[in-house]
Amino acid sequence: MTTQERLEQTIHSTDTVRLGEQVRLAFMLSLPAILSNLTNIIMDYIDTAMVGSLGANATASIGLVATSTWLLGGICSAMVSGFSVQVAHLFGADKKAEANDVLRQAFFAALIFGTFLMIVSGSISLQLPIWLGGNEDIVGDAGLYFLVFAFATPTFITYVLIVSMLRCSGNMKVPSIVSVVICAMDVVFNFFMIFPTRPVELLGIHFTCPGFGLGVLGAAIGSLVAWMLGTIYLIYYICRVSKELRLSFIGRWLPTERVLKKALKIGSPIGLERIISCAAQITSTVIVAPLGTVAIAANAMGIIIESLCYMPGYGIGEAATTLIGQSVGAKRQDLIRRFALITLMLGVGIMSLLAVVMYITAPDIMTLMTPDIDVQQLTTRILRIEAFAEPLFATSIICYGIFVGMGDTFIPSLMQLGSIWLIRIPFAALVAAQWGLTGVWIAMAAELSVRGVVMLIRLIKKIKKS
């Protein structure tokens, strides 16, 4: 029996499902999402290590616009969530024909919205690094890097849409396999795109390896090509292979008023939260930029390496959204409570363990990421600060995934925004001049801890009321 079939059986079963079976189901849904996110982390690690070998300026140029690329990704994810949560509810209610109608309407809306984002982001790409306070050594590469990602927006939103829809229907396996393949392709493409033609020795054999020598721009192009190929396969899969959730060309494409209203109700708070949160990240970048190239590079490295801890949490959060969403659709309050507890404990446990690993291995990881000693030492210091905040960060991630599955996004989004803008940004701005990048990351760790406590309190209250 597949995980998707097991989920459907559990949601619609009239018999009492044992706790062990529920834990197993939560783990089976979480594992592919965790592996997918870990694969993305590895891809970022390899990209950063490849670019990092070119020097601190190359790393800093990517780090300068990293939060802006996240902003694009966050907006795309928010738009998609408004439709995919509806699919989870419809699958839980055993209304699969309606779920397929929502998929078709979402696909059309995503293409229009992605094209709009591409035009807007592409028009500001070359000026953005200057607005963010980058120095002359890095603004050129940073602008070209962001321009490529702006061009990729329609592709990316299509990828996110199909992955999210498949996961909300209970299919975690296919998106995870595709993400692994994308990672492998990204490494290969970057290897040729970043570096110039050069002599290489492999297993004692000497040969000339061709390359385009595009540096930072090559990293962006390599990633874009990998994402495009992966997206093409996913389109084929959901049109021709997928059984229960399939994109059919027959039917209504323009979103109905009912579907669009639900999408806006669910997705708008998430989108607003992502925009304002990324604005906060961009503000943090502006705070870090005057601290110098080493601080910018260390900040970028730290964010990528920290993702080793929190991206598995987001994978479990995605599984929580599916489990809670389908339980809501089936009107199973017992499963909502149980799956909320199971996914929360699973997420906190895994992220806490990974935080310990990160604290211990940070110096060794940094020697692999960059040859710059100053960047190595500063990044190690901030990662060890952040490790203490990971358990409560996990709490906030999983709680938010649970709330999304419930269709409850407005208040949780406000809570996240409040903690970022009332704690992290003022605290970071206050201590940056005296404590440097270390102070900025202390502010981040404090804010994440407060956010986790507040989100947990809301979840407990909400579950007690249900």
The pLDDT tens digits for 153-174 are 999 999 989 998 998 888 878 8
For residue 347 the two structure tokens come to 């997420």
78 vs 447, residue with greater confidence = 447
Which helix (H) or strand (E) segment is 250 a member of?
none
User: For residue 117, is pLDDT > 90?
Assistant: yes
Helix axes 425-465, 390-406, angle to 10 degrees: 50
Instruction: Print the domain residue range for 247.
Output: 3-465
C-beta atoms surrounding 298 within 10 Å: 34
C-beta atoms surrounding 229 within 10 Å: 16
Residues 301 and 59: their CA atoms lie apart, in Å, by 8
Task: Count each helix (H run) and each strand (E run) in the chain, helices first.
Answer: 16, 2
Kindly tell me the sign of the dihedral angle through the C-alpha atoms of 250, 255, 260, 266. positive
Quote the pTM value: 0.77
- The residues that bridge with 206 in the sheet, in sequence order, are 201
pLDDT band at 323 (very low <50, low <70, confident <90, very high): confident
Residues 107 and 46: their CA atoms lie apart, in Å, by 32
User: For residue 30, is pLDDT > 80?
Assistant: no
User: For residue 453, is pLDDT > 90?
Assistant: yes
Nearest to 165 by CA among 221, 93, 234: 234
Contact call for residues 219 and 145 (beta carbons, < 8 A): yes
pLDDT band at 372 (very low <50, low <70, confident <90, very high): confident
* Cβ within 8 Å of residue 413, ≥6 positions away: 269, 270, 272, 273
pLDDT at 239: 92
User: For residue 24, is pLDDT > 80?
Assistant: no
Q: For all residues of the chain together, what is the average pLDDT?
A: 85
Residues 200 and 208: their CA atoms lie apart, in Å, by 6
C-beta atoms surrounding 449 within 10 Å: 20
Total number of domains constituting the chain: 1
User: For residue 356, is pLDDT > 90?
Assistant: yes
Measure Cα distances from 352 to 31, 36, 312, 343, 358 in Å.
17, 19, 11, 14, 10
